[in-house]
Structure 1
Amino acid sequence: MTTRPTQMTLSSRAWAELILLSVIWGASFLSIRIALDEIGPLTTVAHRVGWAMLILWGYVLIKGLPIPRAARIWGAFLGMGLLNNVIPFSLMAWGQLHIETGLTSILNAATAIFGVIAAALFFADERLTPRRAIGVGLGFCGVATAVGLNALTSFDIRSLGQLAVIGGTISYALAGVWARKTMKGLPPQVAAAGMLTGSSLIMIPAAWIVEGPLSFALTLQTWSAIGYYAVVATAFAYLLYYRVLGMAGSGNLMLCTLMIAPVAIVLGAIVLNEALPMRAYFGFAILATGLLVLNSGQKRKN
């Protein structure tokens, strides 16, 4: 499911779909926060992976894509579901109970920073070059600025919420390593459906045990939020992601990370009346600079 970073010249269509993907994922933070008003964070995630799994398997069957049979592959799906869905989705959903959606999206942008570090630790061909080291350093400075020194001096539930989101980004980074080591050669749509199956097998029982039986007697607002983040921001977004990846290359997809946060910040301000501290914006600016440094070092591919 992962591809070595490459950078291509973007066509107008690639730009349009890259922006669409950024808007979709940026709005997912708001929809998740709305659902959390009625259901718990684990139940929120169970709905997300469960419905998205059904949709993607439907797509796989309609397209006639081959379904893996080997136990090793299904074990890889289970591990990928844990690292790329169960852990980060749950930590970030819980974190959103205690911090703003905009701040969650800013901290989420650190995924690319931790991804570079994880790749350097596990793969010999992903060494930490001076340019990458500068980008990573700026990224850490940006995260530290967004979080604020007071989170270290006066540790509270808000500080824990921020750490939970950062923990989710680390899990995303490890998922990239897992995918490269265990899921090569699979059609990306099948890999995504298998991953969501693995996460559903973990998440649905976990939510049931911790938060009680899944209730379907929810308000229209909650179902609308679930429909958005499960159908649009997960199932459809995965399919769109691989389409954009083919057109734009993995290096340019880092630009999506930069565009998600502004969307989430604006929607949080308009719908939820959120107001982020100025340090959050400064932190995002520093983090974005670090991501641009990383992106500028990718090799171009025609």
Structure 2
Amino acid sequence: MTVQKSLSPRAWAELLLLGLIWGASFLSIRIALDELPVLTTVLHRTFWAAVVLWAVVLAGRIPLPREPRVWAAFVLMGVLNNVLPFALMAWAQQHIETGLTSILNATTAIFGILVATLVFADERLTKRRSLGVSLGFLGVATTIGLGHLAQFDLRSTAQVAVLAGTLCYALAGVWARLRLGHLPPQLAAAGMLTGATLVLLPLALLVEGPPRFDLRLGTWTAVAYYSLVATAGAYLLYYRVLAMAGSANLMLVTLIIPPVAIGLGALVRHEALDANTYAGFALLALGLIVLNGPRRRD
């Protein structure tokens, strides 16, 4: 096990910026959902982001893969990292607050550790990790409320849908490490979003019909933000921060996102969360801090 990197002021600034961008994405998606159906909302996200990232790939003269298995891996990665989690969370946001969605989204790191432990021999569930994961799941149980889970109403179903989306992110992380780790990140992201778009386009047409383009300016602004800024731009920024800060420190972004989403949801849509939700987030945040704590060499 390696020593955790210390963060430079520039890394801190870009980490904070990434958290702000992703935190605001929950509100922009919720605004788009006022006028767009779920699959079309997600299709806009993957299509326009893919266009931008392919422009980056071509401008950088990054060689394209020729092996069919790589393109097949892009499609599966797009399903795991985009189609399923984006659609599940967008559907859920129609039934729960944007801030609550962002809190549950923070379990991505928890599921990521568990899935990686099951798949990779070099990933171990140490005492520290076990404590962090346990606190994280205790936070989730507190946030949702065991009573609500027993009732399994629409609200609790939406919360479970968000958790299912974060599990998809964890599975995508494993798939990326197994099949796409040798590729430049810009190419991997562009290929993944293209694969997602190829899956979403016929699905959205079949389920929701042709997409509308006579949308309000506010809806187009929201679409532009969550596709161009919070997806294409955020992926590029993510890889910059990853190179500067390392994967362990990058986990801190999950602590920045919920306060931003909660604040914007309250300010713009007058959302209010109950005490259990804040208590659950506190436990989840504590679990993430434990997971991200200082490490020593073995």
Same fold flag (TM > 0.5): yes
Partners in 2 of 1:102 and 1:5 — Cα distance?
A: 34
Match status 1:243 vs 2:222? no
Partners in 2 of 1:52 and 1:222 — Cα distance?
A: 17
**Which residue number in structure 2 is paired with residue 234 of structure 1?**
231
Match status 1:80 vs 2:82? no
- Which 5+ residue runs of structure 1 have no aligned equivalent? none
Partners in 1 of 2:150 and 2:78 — Cα distance?
A: 35
Residue correspondence of structure 1 range 164-183 to structure 2 within 5 A = 164-183=161-180
The alignment partner of 2:251 has SS state of helix
The alignment partner of 1:177 has SS state of helix
Q: 1:146 aligns with which of 136, 140, 143?
A: 143
Partners in 1 of 2:210 and 2:65 — Cα distance?
A: 31
TM norm structure 1: 0.96
Structure 1 stretches of 4+ moved >3 Å: 297-300
CA contact (8 A) 1:251 1:298 kept: no
CA contact (8 A) 1:119 1:177 kept: yes
CA contact (8 A) 1:22 1:256 kept: yes
Partners in 1 of 2:79 and 2:5 — Cα distance?
A: 32
Q: 2:192 aligns with which of 195, 211, 215?
A: 195
Partners in 1 of 2:123 and 2:150 — Cα distance?
A: 36
Match status 1:23 vs 2:20? yes
RMSD across aligned positions (CA): 1.3
Partners in 1 of 2:114 and 2:86 — Cα distance?
A: 21
Q: Closer, same or farther in 2 for the Cα pair 1:59/1:150, shift >3 Å?
A: same
User: In the TM superposition, what is the alpha-carbon distance from 1:128 to its structure 2 partner?
Assistant: 0.8
**Which residue number in structure 1 is paired with residue 63 of structure 2?**
66
Partners in 2 of 1:95 and 1:5 — Cα distance?
A: 38
User: In the TM superposition, what is the alpha-carbon distance from 1:154 to its structure 2 partner?
Assistant: 2.0
Percent identity (aligned): 64
**Which residue number in structure 1 is paired with residue 42 of structure 2?**
45
Q: Which amino acid aligns with 2:229?
A: V
User: In the TM superposition, what is the alpha-carbon distance from 1:275 to its structure 2 partner?
Assistant: 0.2
Q: Which amino acid aligns with 1:49?
A: T
Match status 1:276 vs 2:273? yes
**Which residue number in structure 2 is paired with residue 124 of structure 1?**
121
Q: 1:257 aligns with which of 254, 258, 269?
A: 254
Partners in 2 of 1:298 and 1:26 — Cα distance?
A: 28
- Which 5+ residue runs of structure 2 have no aligned equivalent? none
Partners in 2 of 1:275 and 1:163 — Cα distance?
A: 20
**Number of residue pairs aligned between Structure 1 and Structure 2:** 297
Partners in 2 of 1:185 and 1:299 — Cα distance?
A: 28
CA contact (8 A) 1:26 1:260 kept: yes
Match status 1:286 vs 2:283? yes
**Which residue number in structure 2 is paired with residue 221 of structure 1?**
218
Q: Closer, same or farther in 2 for the Cα pair 1:5/1:112, shift >3 Å?
A: farther
